[in-house]
Amino acid sequence: MAVTDDAIDKIKEMIVSGELQPGMRLPKEDVLAQQLGLSRSSLREAIRALTAMRILIARQGDGTYVSSLEPHLLLETLSFASDVSEGATARQLLQVRRLLEPQAVALAAGQAEAADLDGLREILDRSRHTTDAEEFIRHDMDFHRRLIDIVDNPVLSMLLEILSTQTQRVRILRGTQVGPAIRQVHREHEMILTALLARDAALAASAAAMHIAAVEQWLDGSV
């Protein structure tokens, strides 16, 4: 391709080189178009692509700015990748999650404070008697999110968020007997929390690994 893609690369380049810093304002469209040597229409396509990727932020009536560029912001656009994945691809995503999440949980075991543990306890209590699949999945996601947030690494949090989107969970649960599956997931969550309360990082990691492995088996069964 050409003009528009050139512009995308050039703007990216200006950011990487430091010429454009996070939060900075870009020249207005017609000026920037002239600088980069293309029409305003084509430049707009470039800008739109970059705003869709959360690299730029355009505000009507105001101007276009470089975003904060925090990775968890940029990672967000990937939830789509997870949403459309199925079959072998879904398995690949889940494998990565199985490699990563137990380690994160182990870290969390060492860093968890009382408030964190109370929060997890609360989520599990709420989910204990949930029978509705949709609602249980929400609790499930809450639990994992809260668990990972203990590590206090936004990149890690967003990555694991992507590796297990709601869409994916719904799809997997749909292929199983909902009742037993819910009870098993709940038991496994309890195991993880127990290990956290005991400050046993190795056990917590193992529990998390088992938990995800079980999901992987369901996925294999349902596909």
Q: Which residues bind DNA (CB under 7 A)?
A: 1-5, 26, 28-29, 37-42, 44-45, 47, 58-64
Binding of a second copy by 116 (CB under 8 A): no
Look at residue 138 and give the partner it binds from DNA, a second copy, none, a contact being a CB closer than 5 to 8 Å depending on partner kind.
none
Instruction: Name which of 4 and 176 has its Cβ closer to a second copy.
Output: 4
Look at residue 210 and give the partner it binds from DNA, a second copy, none, a contact being a CB closer than 5 to 8 Å depending on partner kind.
none
Instruction: Name which of 81 and 178 has its Cβ closer to a second copy.
Output: 81
Among 34, 39, 77, 222, interactor with a second copy by CB under 8 A: 77
| CA atoms of 85 and 204, how far apart (whole Å) | 28
Binding of a second copy by 210 (CB under 8 A): no
Question: Which among 165, 166, 167, 145 is positioned nearest to 157, based on CA atoms?
Answer: 145
Question: Which among 49, 57, 166, 151 is positioned nearest to 100, based on CA atoms?
Answer: 151
- Judged on CB neighbours under 10 Å (0-12, 13-18, 19+), 132 is exposed
User: 141 and 166 in contact (C-beta within 8 Å)?
Assistant: yes
Instruction: Name which of 106 and 181 has its Cβ closer to a second copy.
Output: 106
Task: Indicate the length of the chain as a whole number.
Answer: 223
